[in-house]
Copies of this chain bind each other. A is one copy, B any other.
């Protein structure tokens, strides 16, 4: 993770947190999403996300938008610059994952590892849901 993060910073000029934000926005239809939902998705406190979005908005990668129908809420939306920046960063990140992780495993190993770790993850999640 340290290695991937350093490469992302060096070659795409993005901190990992910013990449996470761009990724999850990119996955939503319209490239937009509520603050709370986004905070949940990238595992960050709501207040933490507030300041991250402040910076990213200054950098022109996204914009806060009013939510039609609920004046409490705020939407975060990708800008064109944000989409371009994400595309470039994603290329860097995918190459990194391939090079530093996937390339060291056989196909069979990859599958086996995924299956095993999914079980571990699911068990942890289940326990988290009902503590």
Residues of chain A whose beta carbon lies under 8 Å from any beta carbon of chain B: 3, 100-101, 104-105, 109, 112-113, 116-117, 119-120, 123-124, 127-128
How far apart are the CA atoms of A109 and B100 in the complex, in Å?
22
Instruction: Please give, as numbers and ranges, the residues of chain B lying within 8 Å of A3 by CB-CB distance.
Output: 124, 127-128
Please pick, from B104, B120, B127, B128, the residue contacting A120 in the complex, using a CB distance under 8 A: B104
- Residue contacts A-B, CB under 8 angstroms, 22 given: A3-B124, A3-B127, A3-B128, A100-B120, A100-B123, A100-B124, A100-B127, A101-B120, A104-B116, A104-B119, A104-B120, A104-B123, A105-B116, A105-B119, A105-B120, A109-B112, A109-B116, A112-B112, A112-B113, A113-B113, A113-B116, A113-B117
Q: How many identical chains are in the complex?
A: 2
> Can you name the residue of chain B whose Cβ is closest to the Cβ of A118?
B104
How far apart are the CA atoms of A102 and B115 in the complex, in Å?
14
Chain B nearest CB from A104 CB (Å) reads: 5
How far apart are the CA atoms of A34 and B101 in the complex, in Å?
34
- Counting from the closest, the 4 A-B pairs by CB-CB distance are A104-B119, A104-B120, A109-B116, A3-B124
